[in-house]
Amino acid sequence: MFGILLLLLVCSAFFSGSETSMMAINRYRLNALVRKGNRSAKLVNNLLGKVDKLLGSILFGNTLVNVAAAAVANIIILRLFGQNDWAILLGTLALTFVIVIFSEIMPKIVAASHPERIALPASYVLAPLITLFYPVVSVATALVKGFLWLFRIKIETDQSKQKMTLEELRGLVLDAEHFLPRRHQKMLLNLVDLERITVNDVMIPRNQIEALDINADADELRQQIVTCHHTLLPVYADAPSNIIGILHIKRVPALFQENTLDVAQLREILNAPYFIPSDTPLLKQLQQFQERHARLGLVVDEYGELLGLVTLENILEEIVGEFTTQSPAQTGKFLRQEDGSFLLEGGSSLRELNRKLGLHLPLDSAKTLNGLILEHLEDIPEAGTSLKIAEYPIEIIQVQDRIVKVARIFPEQPGIQNDS
């Protein structure tokens, strides 16, 4: 009888450990094993696809062996001590203690620490048990579903159909810091964020666009093309907002004739402009660039007014960081001073400042440093005005045409390191 009791306790420990391991197993690791063709992983995945039957069978089996163990323990006590009330009481307490320690707590702790090692081999035993217990479990499951329906509680038994949110995916990447290099982890986080960043956040503003005036003198056009540092140039007529096409610089040399430029042929080789709504998510725009085999788009608002332009490189830099060489016209945007401060252009993008200088300026509404300052002050500041935004001291150096042209920011201040 002692052997039977020991066997029942082992079975109870098996059911307890199996339940915990099945619920604690890493689903992403499991899916990876399934894709590799692991037979045990496929079996576990099938069992988890019907979690109500799985849990019902485990609980039924666990309850069955625990009740049987109690009955066997009573038989042993009666044979050893007869109808002794104290012996029955002490025997019941001792059995309860043994079940709690060796058949519940210990196997569950081990299973929670090593779910794969327990769940994968246990699936070969649980699969036939689910078939064996099916009649009883199906009745119990039907009763449970009836009560849940009565209380208007919805359940999802197939765990594989549950979708992961972007925040959960972001948390998963953050939790993988011990398995991924820091740079790779940052790239994955940036890729996740592309869904909530729009082209309006990363575009080059209209006043910073280098473009050609098709109505300008031919020599002037030629000189601008020769000295241009871009591969693609927007071309406008009459007004910078009236874009009539995109010029690919590599196609221009064939138009040069004796140091002059054929403007008529220049119009013919222009590509049609590609316009993008300002609220387009970057991830969607990246896909559209791929589908259209394009690298540059013009950003417009809901009224069709030109706001700026966005390139494929702008989007890729949001993922991998800075990887292209800046043109000479852009090298003066960030000038480091001897005191550790930076002289910045007011039109600098806040996202660019945060990425390149390691700042943490707010990105909720304003897109540029000028916009952030005006939003904070709710007025047009004068040169010499000082303020503090997100704990960063900022000094207005130059204001022109109601716009902050140059500002000085002090990123290395006490307390900043703690905030970051």
Q: Where does a domain end: 280, 298, 320?
A: 320
Average pLDDT of 346-354? 84
Are the CB atoms for 247 and 266 separated by under 8 Å? yes
Residues 142 and 269 reside in one and the same domain: no
Per-residue pLDDT of 14-47, as tens digits, reads 989 898 988 888 887 888 888 888 888 888 888 8
Per-residue pLDDT of 279-335, as tens digits, reads 999 989 999 999 999 999 999 998 889 999 999 988 888 888 766 555 444 445 678
In a domain, 326, yes or no: no
Average pLDDT of 80-106? 84
Which of the residue ranges 152-166, 185-199, 305-319, 382-396 would you say has the lowest mean pLDDT?
Answer: 152-166
Q: Locate tokens 């806040």: which residue?
A: 350
Non-local CB neighbours of 136 within 8 Å, separated by 6+ positions = 60
Q: In the chain, pLDDT over 70 holds for what percent of residues?
A: 90
Q: How confident is the model at residue 420 (pLDDT cuts 50, 70, 90)?
A: very low
Q: Where does a domain end: 193, 209, 236?
A: 193
Residues 6 and 137 reside in one and the same domain: yes
In a domain, 148, yes or no: yes
- Is 164 a residue whose pLDDT tops 70? no
Per-residue model confidence (pLDDT) at position 272:
92
Per-residue pLDDT of 379-414, as tens digits, reads 889 998 999 998 899 999 999 888 898 999 988 654
Residues 50 and 66 reside in one and the same domain: yes
Residues 230 and 338 reside in one and the same domain: no
Average pLDDT of 82-95? 81
In a domain, 325, yes or no: no
In a domain, 327, yes or no: no
Residues 110 and 245 reside in one and the same domain: no
Give the CB-side neighbour count of residue 221, counting CA atoms within 13 A.
25
- Is 203 a residue whose pLDDT tops 60? yes
Q: How confident is the model at residue 416 (pLDDT cuts 50, 70, 90)?
A: very low
If you average pLDDT over each of 68-82, 188-202, 393-407, which comes out highest? Answer: 393-407
In a domain, 346, yes or no: yes
Per-residue pLDDT of 4-15, as tens digits, reads 888 888 898 998
- β-pairing, 386-389 vs 342-345, is unpaired
Per-residue model confidence (pLDDT) at position 311:
92
Q: Domains in the chain: how many in total?
A: 4
In a domain, 212, yes or no: yes
Residues 93 and 18 reside in one and the same domain: yes
Q: How confident is the model at residue 88 (pLDDT cuts 50, 70, 90)?
A: confident
Domain range for 369: 332-419
Residues 172 and 208 reside in one and the same domain: no
Residues 28 and 99 reside in one and the same domain: yes
Per-residue model confidence (pLDDT) at position 207:
81
Residue 249 sits in a domain whose CATH number is 3.10.580.10
Average pLDDT of 259-274? 81
Residues 341 and 295 reside in one and the same domain: no
Per-residue model confidence (pLDDT) at position 328:
43
Per-residue model confidence (pLDDT) at position 419:
37
Residue 342 sits in a domain whose CATH number is 3.30.465.10
Q: Is the dihedral of CA 387, 392, 398, 400 positive or negative?
A: negative
Residues 276 and 362 reside in one and the same domain: no
Residues 232 and 316 reside in one and the same domain: yes
Three-state secondary structure string covering 334-383: EEECCCCCEEEECCCEHHHHHHHHCCCCCCCCCCEHHHHHHHHHCCCCCC
Q: Please, what is the average pLDDT of the chain?
A: 83
Of residues 321 and 270, more confidently modeled: 270
Which of the residue ranges 28-32, 179-183, 200-204 would you say has the lowest mean pLDDT?
Answer: 179-183
Residues 212 and 257 reside in one and the same domain: yes
Per-residue model confidence (pLDDT) at position 161:
53
